[in-house]
Amino acid sequence: MDVEVRESALDHAEEWLGTQTPRPSVDELLDAADEISIYLAGSPLRVIQIRVGLVREQADGTPSPTQPEGSTMQLRDTQQVTYTLAGKDAKGFDVDGEQFSAVSSDETVVTVTQDGDTFTAVAGSPGSAVVTFSEAVSGLSATEAIDVVPGNLATIDVVAGEVTEQP
């Protein structure tokens, strides 16, 4: 959302709420400005709904056990997960015409690709990243923290120490 729309919305909110007694709090003023800016921008989008798909192995698509709700997404470095986004209005009804995008805070840990409203987060190197999903018109965004951990044991490296005489 551009700066002019937000400034105009704040001016309208101050004009609208400024005569109230007691004076509105800063949070009430900003909430009203947010409502007005959505109206001025012409976007009814209020909520980004994220549906998380199954975590799958990158190589063959085999699904993994589900993770506990509310926990940080954890992927082994051999896994990927899909997210499907949908826009909802203030009453929870679908909104069409969204312009979703996603970006990872660390592309070496998680890479994100897009196919319409579906995003695939592919694990890379072990570490932590935050994927930010956003919608261009409304300015709304949502985040998902993803931890990438090493995969299952695949090889054993044997490193010999120095050869010495027995005591």
C-alpha distances out from residue 54 to 7, 63, 65, 69, 143, Å: 42, 6, 8, 13, 18
DSSP one-letter string for 66-124: PPPTTSPEEEETTEEEEEEEEEE-TTS-EE----EEEEES-TTTEEEEEETTEEEEEE-
CB 130 within 8 A of CB 102: no
pLDDT in tens, 7-20: 888 888 888 887 88
User: Phi, psi (5° rounding) for residue 53?
Assistant: -85, -175
**Res 61 pLDDT > 70:** yes
User: Which residues are CB-contacts of 60 (< 8 A; sequence separation ≥ 6)?
Assistant: none
* Structural domains of the chain, with CATH: 3-41 (no CATH), 47-149 (2.60.40.1080)
CB 1 within 8 A of CB 41: yes
pLDDT of residue 44: 59
- The band of 27, judged by pLDDT with boundaries at 50, 70 and 90, is confident
- The band of 75, judged by pLDDT with boundaries at 50, 70 and 90, is very high
DSSP SS3 for 13: helix
